[in-house]
Structure 1
Amino acid sequence: MNKSLRQKQKFEHLYKKPEQHDQALQTVHNFSNTNISQDAINILQKGFNFAITPKRIPVENIITNVEIALTTVEQPIADEIRLDIANILKKARPPAQNVTKKELNALKELKNNNDVLILPADKGNATVIVNNNDYHQKMITLLNSSEYKTSNTDPTTYLEKKTISLIKSTSLSDKVKQELIPREKSSRIPKIYGLPKIHKENWPLRPIVSAFNSPTHKLARYLAKELQPICVSASSYIKNSLDFLTFQWSR
């Protein structure tokens, strides 16, 4: 399936009957036993990328980040930048609030409610509210499937050493190798979480493994960057590792 055909199918999916649009445009789905106020729905509709304006300018954080950035700057230039930043901060004022007081209070109530979880949906750019117990039970069911098995030891240290060894054995330049090699004894084990599939009955979870700061994180980021230019020639998915190796990639 080429790229243009995929785009056509997406367009046809969006062009639905009028009665289907109400559900498609719904951005907040409450699958929990908790009644959600309209104020809470209003602020959740803004999405996970929405940022509430601060009540004060974070002066300390700004100064700290500036000082970190100036460690490689020559002293005379660094002093000029510090002076400019200081003048800007003296005149700076917090931006106007972008949420109402009721919305903010509703968000605090949801945050303090340990019975519910607020998650992004697997698809649809929607926000999902679920019972905490239901979510954890679904995750346990996923982990107890045949796709996973229990390990008696933490493999992080082994994977870290193995990754370093493999990177050093490649023909990559020394500069690239240094960028890919994880810092020894600083890696963490990948974490799994689930995203609700709101388009399916009883919202099953799609398992997502976060490899951020794992032994292979830098390597995966490098490979993604290298493969991006040729991904347009692939179908919508790669079946497995063998399919990846035998696929006729074109640049």
Structure 2
Amino acid sequence: MLNVQKENIFISTRENQKNKLQRLLTKAKKRQPLETDYIPERWVKNLSTQELTPAERQLLAKGPKFAITPSQIPIKQYIVEIENSISKHLQQPEADKVRGDIVRILEKAKPPSSNITSEQRNALNNLVEDKTRMCLTADKGNAMVVMDAEDYKGKINKMLSVTSTYEKLKNDPTTKSQRQLCNILKSIKDKGELPDHLYNKLRPAGRSTPAPKFYGLPKIHKADVPLRPIVSSIGSCTYNTAKELARIIGPLVGKSPHHIKDTTEFVNKMKNKVIPPDYTIVSFDVSALFTSIPTDKALKCIQQRLQDDDTLQNRTTMSTASICKLLEFCLDNTFFVYNSNFYRQCHGAAMGSPISPIVANLYMEMFENEALAI
């Protein structure tokens, strides 16, 4: 039975890869090589005081998601990932056979051909080694932005100097927060609301998890190119809990009759509308939305929505009180690190947490309903 399943998966994966390769080859025939293309300013925005070389511009135009082929096969990485997989899913005889096959394949394997030119590889090395410049992804448009490092640091420090929004901490609060989260999760588990597998998933692994990291994305569509503050919480002690809460609370969003999911839904709703001659369509953008959300009011709103949700038990075994306790903890732990210094966001939801967009949307829906009721 195991061999049949393996063969079916192999055949399916092979066909998918062949179809993908054919699509890529078809697209490649319809255009000229990248090296002869004109690279518009929109794809590479140079805000630094240094000129970009043609090779640097060509390299950056490939975008932040372009994967450069390695000069050597990452054998150790392959072995670790394959071993983790086969040890969990295969019995000893079958696992040993797979290990033998992998060894024979890796012994004959050769590094893939480079997908960038030698000039571009030199340009990559120069950009990495040059500490006076920084290569960033634009906040919108997927463009690559090159800034002077001092300019970037100056804008970051200016943001963090606003004491009404950020508070500098004397010590790293990670260990304390990790301990508090473990206590909350254990109390929920002891009440029988958290199964063992989920408890082990949400509990911070190891003695110390990394603190969330603060950085900025340049808003090249605005004057003076301000930075959008981002707090990357990936790998932090609250990240897995925030993801689980996002899964549980996410379905509550969109219950308002005025909710628009995306631009496609907006177009579909507006395509048959007739705008009178003396009317015009306008849009408004809330400045610093996440950091402006009053979390205490947002928590009360979410608690009420959870109590009114008849489908909540289909998504979790936790009670509304336990969900709100974890949510309050994630919203209160807004600390992060930048340049080896620790800060705390004084109010609002952290930009970068998986739960923040949902909390912001639910609060804005409540705010909208209250405004319409007036």
Q: TM-score, normalised by structure 1?
A: 0.81
- Residue matched to 2:49: 33
- Residue matched to 2:169: 151
- Residue matched to 1:223: 245
Contact 2:175 2:208 in 1 (8 A): no
Query: What SS does the corresponding residue of 2:119 show, helix, strand or coil?
Result: helix
* More divergent stretch after superposition (188-197 vs 89-98): 89-98
- Residue matched to 1:246: 301
Inter-partner Cα distance in structure 2 for 1:120 and 1:233: 33
Which structure 1 residue ranges, 5 or more long, are not aligned?
1-23
Query: What SS does the corresponding residue of 1:35 show, helix, strand or coil?
Result: coil
Q: TM-score, normalised by structure 2?
A: 0.56
Q: Provide the identity percentage.
A: 36
* More divergent stretch after superposition (92-101 vs 67-76): 67-76
Which is bigger in relative contact order (C-alpha 8 A, separation at least 6)? 1
AA partner of residue 37 (structure 1): T
Deviations 1:44-81 (A, max 9, x none): 11111111112332223322332333334322111110
Following superposition, the deviation at residue 41 of structure 1 comes to 0.9
- Residue matched to 1:58: 74
* Structure-2 change in CA distance of 1:76 and 1:104 (3 Å): same
1:179 partnered with 2:201: yes
Contact 2:211 2:236 in 1 (8 A): yes
Which structure 2 residue ranges, 5 or more long, are not aligned?
1-39, 261-288, 312-374
Structure ID, larger Rg: 2
- Residue matched to 2:368: none
- Residue matched to 2:112: 95
Contact 1:160 1:184 in 2 (8 A): no
Runs of 4+ aligned structure 1 residues displaced above 6 Å come to: none
AA partner of residue 166 (structure 2): Y
- Residue matched to 2:179: 161
* More divergent stretch after superposition (193-202 vs 219-228): 219-228
Contact 2:140 2:219 in 1 (8 A): yes
- Residue matched to 1:133: 150
Following superposition, the deviation at residue 109 of structure 1 comes to 1.4
Inter-partner Cα distance in structure 1 for 2:120 and 2:48: 20
AA partner of residue 159 (structure 2): L
Following superposition, the deviation at residue 169 of structure 1 comes to 2.4
Contact 1:190 1:211 in 2 (8 A): yes
Following superposition, the deviation at residue 229 of structure 1 comes to 4.0
Inter-partner Cα distance in structure 1 for 2:41 and 2:54: 17
Query: What SS does the corresponding residue of 2:166 show, helix, strand or coil?
Result: coil
**What is the aligned residue count?**
229
* Structure-2 change in CA distance of 1:60 and 1:162 (3 Å): closer
Deviations 1:157-186 (A, max 9, x none): 221121112222222223322211113522
* Structure-2 change in CA distance of 1:180 and 1:68 (3 Å): same
Coordinate RMSD, CA, aligned: 2.6
